[in-house]
Amino acid sequence: MIIGIFSKFDMAGGSEFRCTELANGIAKYTEHTALLLVEKRFPSRLDQYVHEKVEIVENCFTSPEGFYKSDRILIVNSDSKEFSRTDYWRGKTHRHSFSIEMEKLKNKKMYFLYNFIVSPSRHLYEFEKYGADVSIITTNKKFFNEITKQDRYEQIRIFPRYTLESPIDPDLLEIRLREPKGPVCFGMHSKRLNNKWNDEFVNLIKLVNEKYTPEQIQFRFMGVKGNLIEKLNFFENVTCLQEDEESVKDFLNQIDVFLFFPDWKREEPWARVIAEAMVAGCPVIALNRGGTEDQVLRYNNGFLCKRLKDYQQNIIYLMEHRDIIPIMSRNSIRIAKDFYSLNVNKKLMNILEK
């Protein structure tokens, strides 16, 4: 079976790593063929992560054979609303002007994976007139249930629907139990996008530093947005690194607890950075929005927060009960095994082979 995985690949972010690792899993753990169908150009930073058996097809709409020969097509939507409309596939949007032969979609099994917003899925009924066999994959229970609950999805509720995590290759991380002997290090890494970082990080560190010295607590950040770096560098116990200054493996290996503190309004459907931190063995303190509840089990491998005070209280709790950190660390390692590439690949193949 030939499995084509399509996305825009505009950058080397979480969605793009998801696509790459899904393709890698197919290549490593099955006898099937994996294609990465790239809207335009494949990010060079991802080249080193692609398995040698995975075929990359750039500008896939100018060379659409990759779509036609695929027995299954997995469309990873990321933040592109257009992918769920037939106009996109007919070259009638701003993204490109090349139309595939829509009649070749007849009986084609197409799986639309929603890993940023799920609302565009309500347009998938448009593919029915071309005879495509459409299924929906969501990255969290919230999206999955939204389709059931809201009337705007009435026309697509009958479509087959699944959930699937993002695959994490454990071989790319150092997995260890967190048992801090010196200062406890709290850290976060992300892209430098504005809403990936909460401006109240400054107030949070001020509050925590009123109780603890740099000999007791440290903060480590990588990829901080520009207007926040200078404010954070003011603190003696804060280290700020440029985006990708260290590998994810090396960065996570130097922290004890992962802080996921994006803008209050940002809703991560399934944060890959949280999953990587859990695989590596970090407890997690995270914003309770989107799919975070599918990753962080409250009071078991971390805490979920809704306001600044929650972050402050949970950091202090771990500082005052350091013996809880290795217990939560062990739980993160246990829960995160569901995110291993091998296990996610099994779930994916179970979906695709139905």
CATH fold for domain 2-164 = Rossmann fold (3.40.50)
Measured between alpha carbons, how far is residue 116 from residues 123, 291, 334 in Å?
16, 10, 26
Written as one letter, the residue type at 21 is E
Give the integer Cα–Cα distance in Å for 68 and 74: 13
Q: What count of other Cβ atoms lies within 10 Å of the Cβ of residue 238?
A: 21
Query: Domains of the chain: which residue ranges?
Result: 2-164, 171-338
Order across the sheet with 257-260: list the strands. Answer: 238-241, 217-222, 184-189, 257-260, 284-287, 302-305
Select from 39, 114, 115 the least CA-distant residue to 84. 114
Q: Are 33 and 62 in contact (CB under 8 A)?
A: no
Secondary-structure breakdown of the chain: helix, strand, coil percentages, each rounded to the nearest 5: 40, 20, 40
Structure-block tokens of residue 117? 């917003």
SS3 217: strand
- Residue linked to tokens 């991380």: 173
Give the integer Cα–Cα distance in Å for 22 and 11: 17
Select from 270, 113, 254 the least CA-distant residue to 184. 254
**C-alpha radius of gyration, the chain, whole number:** 21
Written as one letter, the residue type at 171 is D
Q: Are 221 and 249 in contact (CB under 8 A)?
A: no
Select from 206, 218, 279 the least CA-distant residue to 248. 279
Select from 312, 285, 318 the least CA-distant residue to 208. 312
**Cα 161–chain centre separation:** 19
Select from 119, 52, 110, 47 the least CA-distant residue to 82. 119
- DSSP-H helix ranges across the chain: 14-29, 65-69, 86-89, 141-149, 201-209, 226-233, 248-253, 272-280, 308-320, 324-336, 341-352
Q: What per-residue confidence (pLDDT) applies to 240?
A: 97
Q: Are 345 and 352 in contact (CB under 8 A)?
A: no
Q: What per-residue confidence (pLDDT) applies to 146?
A: 96
Strands 257-260 and 284-287: parallel
Q: What per-residue confidence (pLDDT) applies to 87?
A: 96
User: Terminus-to-terminus CA distance in the chain, angstroms?
Assistant: 13
Q: What per-residue confidence (pLDDT) applies to 78?
A: 72
Q: Which regions in the chain score pLDDT beneath 70?
A: none
CATH fold for domain 171-338 = Rossmann fold (3.40.50)
Written as one letter, the residue type at 164 is L
Query: Do the first three CATH levels of 2-164 and 171-338 match, i.e. the same topology?
Result: yes
